Structure 1
Amino acid sequence: MKKQYRNYSPSFKKKAVELSYARENTKQVCEELDIPYSVLHRWRKESQDYGKNSFPGRGKPKLTDEQKEIALLKKQLKDISEEHEIFKKGGEHLLQERQVKFRFIKHHKFKFTVEKMCKVLKVSTSGYYNWLKAKVSKLWLYNQKLSELVTTIFKDSFESYGAPRVKMALEKLGHCISRPRVARLMKANGLFARRKRNFRITTDSNHKYPIAANILNQNFKVSRTNQVWVSDITYIETKQGWMYLTVIIDLFNRKVVGWSMSDNLTTEDTIIAAWNMAALSNVITEELIFHSDRGSQYASYIFTDIIKSYDGLVKQSMSRKGNCWDNAVAESFFKSLKTEWVYKHKYNYRSQAELSIFSWIETWYNKRRIHSTLGYKTINEFETEMYNQNVAA
């Protein structure tokens, strides 16, 4: 089969370097990961030279900690210089009403950024843009005052107060206000009370994002690569805390084409990171179905916008509520991972779990493990067989 040029994600490079040091057998690691020794040697040198700043990504400069600090100091100096100039021009407005400040910002927006002027004049950017859209009313001014009070009360409570308690604090200050109104103000300002949770779950389907139809409908037989990708998120226990693993699997060959490991469940660090890895190594030229559960990470606008950016080439599919069989392939992968590997290990740190699972996926599962669904062949053997059949046809 013709050898294709591979693109490696920064996560892959970092873990490959870690694995080479952990194994102390660079040649074996290169063979298992199917990468040239010279490439791994270059990655190891870059890791030694730049440490945590290595592998910044294509088009981004490699900087040492000292260089990054110098760049940051230059930016801070520039910001201070601009703020000083804004202060000289608009300092007389600091004690004025917000409308006067907003007019100053409007007249100088071509010289300074709106965000920086708002910071110097101590007004919110949202307040400025609201002022641009509509005439300032007494209600708007009162809402601004309430927003400031709500934020102060919330911060003073160490971010523990919900709407009911914030409402009571406002009433003590002489403000008669309903709980729903307080809740709206808190949401508008991104204020959410922290709550202790007894259990960590990876699938949060209790959200208001749109749900995609179940296009896949348990049809797990496909005829080519990049026809159907399935994805799911699971957790790995360590003494340091949970480590979350997100995978994207190609149904055609059962290969893990994308993965991410994180200490949180944000969309950026789970599915988007995994998607970026999958998209880096696979060119999508034909219709692709992307199937997952109804989790908020998959339904979020930030991720669905990525799906839409493919102009209809990628179609999103989601499992029916409470039906685990709709995403059985991903569930089966996690069962294999935990039964065959994770349950045999005790992880003190997330970094240990990350390196261990990276090794299992990239040197075993994707390379040497035989799969019953592939006729008891490895993924490489199955791909070679399919390639030869296509050539013969």
Structure 2
Amino acid sequence: MEVRQRRSFTEDYKRQAVELVVSSGRSVMSVAKELGLRDSVLRRWVDKLRQEPASAAWRPTTQTTPMSADQASEIARLRQENERLRMERDILKKSIANLCRNPDMSFRFIEDHREAYPVRLMCAVLEVSPAGYYAWRERPVSARATSTAMLLAEIRQVHRDSGQRYGSPRVHAALRTQGRGASRGRIERLMRRHGIRAIMAPPRRVRTTDSRHNLPIAPNLIARDFTAAAPNRVWLADITYIPTAEGWLYLAAVMDLFSRKIVGWAMRDHMRVELVSSALSMALRQQRPGAGLIHHSDRGVQYASHDYRAVLAAAGLTASMSRKADCYDNAPMESFFHTLKTELVHHRQYQTRAQAQRDVFAFIEGFYNRTRLHSAIGYIPPIEMELKAA
């Protein structure tokens, strides 16, 4: 009988899990399900940390300012007016590319968005009559139109469940796993017609690799062969940055090349050796790899340092490093950081590092590792790929 390996968690992991409960107001059951934890385990962590002295790093504070009745009334009126203008703007923005003054297309747009905006407001903006719209609704619906409406609803649900991060390839893969036989081309056309697209953002770069040192450099044992026969044979490591109003938050991550799972991570306000060592320690504690595992990174001073090489040697890991200034030698890690930035970070404006830590933790442990369909492993989540090899 197969024995399931007991999971081991770092203090960083526990604290970030508690953050999701305390700061977001979500239930213990909801967060535990997202992270693949037992309710009782997460509840024990929450109770333990609540007994500790209050800490600004994780315990939220609230402030209220008295407001007069006139001020409250004016604010309510302005909010209502702003909401009406926002809806008009959104209606025009979403419809202008597709409608072209075609009544049928206008009516279809109204039908698709009737739960989001008032019907009469949409009719006024699109210059069609409410009576014409309701007459259009009463017409018999063809089998093809019914099928298309059902497929569109399923597409919207998958897109919504992914946090709007999925484009047509991943939506198609997700529907295929649910037994939906629609072609990728049809899904792509529907998504384009209805303005359903993956959230994206332009890249911003900050230098995180300092290879100008005289420390030992390990040979490149990967040579851009980004395949592994089983879990815990090859790990990739790298550092990235996340902007906040308090300054940069740096993220060090360790990826298992076989499953593309992030097996270790650490977040700090610095890029010293302790950052990458913490991420590696988490990976070693959770995965417990055997000797001979290849650890591949860039030539950064953190990875070449004596302290880091000592950790690798103690664990029986073999060091490998990319060529100088060649990001393609560590392409899967670059791809993960690109995903993190375009699907999360570039759509946020973090006031504090603690806010960014909560978001990144939820993305890695609750979405990327457990839910997100990964194209490099056949459009399944990394944790499913790992379990297949168990």
Same fold? TM cut 0.5? yes
Aligned counterpart in structure 2 of residue 319 of structure 1, from 322, 339, 346: 322
In structure 1, C-alpha distance between the alignment counterparts of 2:3 and 2:343, rounded to whole Å: 32
In structure 2, C-alpha distance between the alignment counterparts of 1:228 and 1:333, rounded to whole Å: 16
* Residues 373 and 379, structure 2, Cα contact 8 Å, conserved in 1: yes
2:285 counterpart of 1:280: yes
AA in 1 matched with 2:287: N
* Residues 17 and 43, structure 1, Cα contact 8 Å, conserved in 2: yes
In structure 2, C-alpha distance between the alignment counterparts of 1:320 and 1:211, rounded to whole Å: 10
2:42 counterpart of 1:40: yes
AA in 1 matched with 2:224: Q
In structure 2, C-alpha distance between the alignment counterparts of 1:17 and 1:322, rounded to whole Å: 39
Aligned counterpart in structure 1 of residue 305 of structure 2, from 291, 300, 318: 300
Q: How far did residue 52 of structure 1 move?
A: 7.1
* Residues 23 and 29, structure 1, Cα contact 8 Å, conserved in 2: no
* Residues 231 and 291, structure 1, Cα contact 8 Å, conserved in 2: yes
In structure 2, the residue matched to 1:27 is: 29
Aligned counterpart in structure 2 of residue 332 of structure 1, from 322, 332, 335: 335
Stretch of structure 1 that moved more, 347-356 or 375-384: 375-384
Runs of 4+ in structure 1 off by over 6 angstroms are: none
Look up the SS of the partner of 1:213 in the other structure.
coil
In structure 2, C-alpha distance between the alignment counterparts of 1:52 and 1:256, rounded to whole Å: 31
* Residues 231 and 249, structure 1, Cα contact 8 Å, conserved in 2: yes
Q: Deviations over 1:291-334 (max 9, x none)?
A: 00000000011111111223xx3110000012111000110000
In structure 2, C-alpha distance between the alignment counterparts of 1:219 and 1:52, rounded to whole Å: 49
AA in 2 matched with 1:316: A
2:389 counterpart of 1:386: yes
Aligned counterpart in structure 2 of residue 265 of structure 1, from 251, 268, 271: 271
* Residues 231 and 389, structure 2, Cα contact 8 Å, conserved in 1: no
* Residues 239 and 347, structure 1, Cα contact 8 Å, conserved in 2: yes
Look up the SS of the partner of 1:258 in the other structure.
strand
Q: How far did residue 358 of structure 1 move?
A: 0.4
AA in 2 matched with 1:359: A
In structure 1, the residue matched to 2:377 is: 374
Q: How far did residue 381 of structure 1 move?
A: 2.5
Aligned counterpart in structure 2 of residue 256 of structure 1, from 246, 251, 262: 262
Q: Deviations over 1:21-64 (max 9, x none)?
A: 214221111111111111111111110112479xxxxxxxxxxx
Matched-pair identity in % = 41
Q: Deviations over 1:95-136 (max 9, x none)?
A: xxxxxxxxxxxxxxxxxxxxxxxxxxxxxxxxxxxxxxxxxx
Unmatched segments (≥5 aa) in structure 1 = 54-198, 388-393
AA in 1 matched with 2:7: R
Give the alignment's TM-score, normalised by structure 2.
Answer: 0.59
Unmatched segments (≥5 aa) in structure 2 = 56-204
* Residues 211 and 300, structure 2, Cα contact 8 Å, conserved in 1: yes
Q: Structure 2 matches for 1:138-149, cutoff 5 A?
A: none
Give the alignment's TM-score, normalised by structure 1.
Answer: 0.59
In structure 2, C-alpha distance between the alignment counterparts of 1:253 and 1:26, rounded to whole Å: 28
Q: Which has the larger radius of gyration?
A: 1
CA RMSD of aligned residues (A): 1.6
* Residues 259 and 274, structure 1, Cα contact 8 Å, conserved in 2: yes
In structure 1, C-alpha distance between the alignment counterparts of 2:42 and 2:19, rounded to whole Å: 11
AA in 2 matched with 1:50: E
Aligned length: 239
AA in 2 matched with 1:324: C
In structure 2, the residue matched to 1:224 is: 230
Q: How far did residue 200 of structure 1 move?
A: 5.5
